[in-house]
Amino acid sequence: MKKVLIVTGGSRGIGHATSVLAAKTGWDVCVNYVRNKVRADETVAKIQATGQRAIAVRADINNEQDVIRLFETCSAELGVVTGVVNSAGIVEPYCRVDELKYEEIIPLININVVAMMIVTREAIKRMSTKNNGSGGSIVLLSSVSARIGAPGVCVAYAASKGAVDSFAWGAAQEVVGEGIRINAVSPGLIDTEIQPEGRVKRDGPKLPMGRVGQPEEVARAIVWLLSEDASYVAGSNLDVAAGR
């Protein structure tokens, strides 16, 4: 069966690393982006250099119709979607709970929770054998912050990822008998551009392994969960955090 993958937020950070690594294991990839077409096109070029097909699709996953269009475009240009990685998300605001602003919380919840649910819904509608689909694999990006709470840094973000954990577990139970495996990956502190300036250098040496992680290290876990090597893995949450 042809392997066709959608990666939301696929043009940067963990999403970019996942898109490229998935291509090396035989996936055709639809790279979703919102603003930076140049970065998305660069990711597509790297995928095509592996011999796999790739397209970049601009879609704001905060917009339900954009999500539907993303899936429809991918299906039309690459084929039936059999894998989805929901990597898109935001971390800000960085602050204490008593400093939170309403207008900052809403975008965080919308993209990290609501959009994630809509992306998963659209994947299930197409993949489920109940809906005449052929099955597939969905990986949701969570965070170890959901477990440790991220006090003094980003508790609201941690809470949003706690929602991802609950959703991944419940959704997995609903569809595992319909040919779909849903799992989550929870990275620790990873060296990506979403980190505040100076955090990687400051906090890396304090971690159990003495360093932060790299996007490629998270990508390897994601691509494994997508693969047939993880054929009996569903409802799991894989920490990629070096003991944190």
Structural domains in the chain plus CATH codes: 4-240 (3.40.50.720)
What is the average pLDDT value for the chain, to the nearest integer?
95
Q: How confident is the model over 36-43, as a mean pLDDT? A: 96
Please check the confidence at residue 243 and state whether its pLDDT lies above 80: yes
Give the tens place of pLDDT for each residue, 183-225: 999 999 887 777 767 776 776 677 788 888 899 999 999 999 9
pLDDT value at residue 173 = 98
pLDDT in tens, 115-156: 999 999 999 999 999 999 999 999 999 999 999 999 999 999
**What average pLDDT does range 96-100 have in this prediction?**
97
Cβ neighbours for 176, distance < 8 A, ≥ 6 positions apart: 182, 234, 235
**pLDDT score, position 191:** 79
Q: What is the pLDDT of residue 196?
A: 65
What percent of the chain shows pLDDT beyond 90?
87
Q: What integer pLDDT is reported at residue 132 of this predicted model?
A: 95
Q: How does pLDDT run across 173-193, given as a tens digit for each residue?
A: 999 999 999 999 999 988 777
Look at residue 55 in the predicted model and tell me its pLDDT: 98
33, 94, 102, 157: the active-site residue: 157
Is 94 one of the annotated active-site residues of the chain?
A: no
